[in-house]
Amino acid sequence: MALKVGDTAPNFTLRDTNNQVHSLSDHKGKNNVVLLFFPAVGTGVCEKELCSTRDSMKDYEGLNAQVFGISVDGPFSQKLWVDKYQFNFPLLSDFNKEVAPSYGAFYDVWLPGKWDLKGVAKRSAFVIDKNGVIQYAEVLENAGEEPNYAAVIETLKKL
């Protein structure tokens, strides 16, 4: 079940493409956090989403927000993508498939009947305030859709 506004965000600890450890709890009392779960490195809509986020990073930084992209891809494939597109925010590997399910952002089977990929993150956006409370939650069933970036920014402006 997906988390909703007002829920306490589950803490997590994941590694980025440089093997640096990131925990949600590191941001408590310091800054807001935006989590962007995405299905897979190398796919068109994911590329569009993350490049759009990269190009809007000044907006997020101006609102005291740390952005993380999270997928179940390994950190090595994520690193190739970071290098190619020069993402200016960390991509975190949920390779062990622990964080996406805890947020309700998880396909048991993605693209059934076509690829039948098991255990993939659903495209989702969460805004978590400095106290660790979810202030915005959007979990998309259709991976071809993108999150409402304007709503994410508006939520951050209110914090």
The identity of residue 72, as a single letter, is V
Q: Annotate 74-102 with b (16+ C-beta within 10 A) or e (fewer).
A: ebebbbebbeeeebebbbbbbbeeebbee
Query: Is 46 one of the annotated active-site residues of the chain?
Result: yes
Tokens of 139: 């979990």
The C-alpha atoms of residue 70 and residue 46 are separated, in whole angstroms, by 11
Candidate list 24, 34, 41, 46, residue with the active-site label: 46
The C-alpha atoms of residue 10 and residue 107 are separated, in whole angstroms, by 18
Q: List the catalytic residues.
A: 46
